[in-house]
Every structure is written in C-alpha cells, then in structure tokens.
C-alpha cells in the first residue's frame, strides 16, 4: 500500500463515511485497508479520495466512497457468506467486500474492465474474488445460491432469475429506477417471499443486458 495516500484514506473515512452515519466498524476497517488509488487510472490517482465517482473508461465509473460504504453496510456481510456482485467495474467494491465475507463472484460485461479489475485484485493479493466476463443481469447461476447479491449498476427491476439465485434469508441491494435516477433498495427473501425496503435517491451507470436496460 502506498503510504503517500494513508492520510487521505483516513480523512476520507472520517469526513465522508463516519460523519454521514456509516458506523459499522468492520466496514470502516475495510475502507482503511483497501487502497482506492489502486482501482483508478494512473492519471486520476491524485483524486482517488475525493467525494465523488471517477471515470474508469468505457463509460463506467468507480462509485463515490460513501455510496460504496452505504451499500456495503446495507448488505451486512458475514465472514461465512458468499456474495454475487453484478458489475465488477475496477474491482474496488469487490475488494471491500472481500474483507467482510468468505468469497465474492463479480460479473463484468466489458471484457477489458474485467481484466482491469482482475489485475487490480491480483496485484493486492486478494484471492477470494473471482471476476467473470458475462451478462450480469442474468446473475451467475453456476455457483448459486448466494447469501447476498449486490448490483453496482442501475437496473429497472430485479427479475425472478436473480431472486432464484438468492438463498432463503438472503438479501439483495440495488439501485432501482430509470436510467437517470434510482432509489437504493434492499430486498430480503424469507420463505420465498420478498420484502422490499427503500432508502435514498442515487444515480448509477445503467446495467446493460437481457434483464437490464437494452
């Protein structure tokens, strides 16, 4: 880890996360341990700890640190759980989750970004994440069911094809809405019934795929 960014990382956790109500100590610890600058292009490293998303190419972004933290806290990951992430991006969200759960499967539609995420994770020695190239809107039935599922791209809805890949008592966190505005939403599956909880408004890049946006 580049110690040149240590102070910025600590300030980001205090100012952007704790002051906005992120209080899960395991989540905060993960944000202190994972170097965000390793998941952004070289020319943007100096902006890695600013309070906003950054471009990672191909029309995609690495999300604002607070948004990553809020979604992670809502997931309430446990050390024995398997997470399916839909939208690998640069691998940052998967890296954070890797500190909190047993294993992460993350799917990325864009082959070049999947390779970028894979390289970033390998460089940091993170070995409990598998990056898959494919249509994330279909999930990843090969290793289903999952304890938790996380969408890191906006989707108009969650289809049965995804709910069927979720374990009983499992949860999904996703930005739900149209291409221009979404609501962060959590779904909890209990005895094959789904409860929905809505949180705050957000804006994510759209999930392109058979069960996403066309």
Tens digits of per-residue pLDDT, 78-136? 999 999 999 999 999 999 999 999 999 999 999 999 999 999 999 999 999 999 999 99
SS3 88: coil
Q: Which region holds residue 46: left if phi is over 0, alpha if psi is between -120 and 50, else beta?
A: alpha
Catalytic residue, candidates 19, 63, 79, 137:
63
- pTM of the entire structure? 0.95
What is the structure's pLDDT at 214? 81
| Cα(173)–Cα(153) distance, integer angstroms | 11
90 catalytic residue (yes or no): no
Instruction: Return the structure tokens found at 132.
Output: 């898959």
* Whether 90 contacts 189, CB under 8 Å: no
Helix (H) or strand (E) segment spanning residue 205: none
């Amino acid at each position: 880890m580049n110690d040149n960014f240590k102070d910025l990382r600590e300030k980001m956790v205090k100012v952007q996360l704790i002051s906005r109500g992120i209080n899960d100590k395991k989540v905060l610890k993960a944000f202190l341990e994972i170097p965000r600058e390793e998941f952004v292009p070289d020319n943007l490293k100096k902006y890695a700890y600013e309070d906003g998303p950054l471009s990672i190419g191909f029309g995609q972004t690495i999300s604002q640190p607070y948004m990553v933290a809020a979604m992670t806290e809502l997931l309430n990951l446990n050390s024995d759980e398997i997470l399916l992430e839909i939208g690998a991006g640069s691998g940052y969200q998967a890296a954070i989750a890797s500190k909190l759960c047993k294993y992460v499967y993350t799917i990325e539609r864009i082959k070049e970004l999947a390779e970028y995420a894979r390289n970033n994770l390998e460089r940091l020695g993170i070995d409990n994440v598998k990056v898959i190239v494919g249509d994330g809107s279909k999930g990843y039935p090969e290793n289903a069911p999952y304890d938790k599922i996380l969408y890191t791209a906006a989707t108009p809805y969650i289809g049965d094809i995804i709910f069927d890949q979720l374990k009983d008592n499992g949860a999904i966190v996703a930005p739900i809405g149209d291409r221009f505005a979404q609501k962060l939403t959590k779904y909890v599956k209990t005895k094959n019934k789904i409860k929905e909880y809505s949180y705050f408004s957000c804006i994510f890049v759209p999930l392109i795929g058979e069960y996403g946006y066309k």
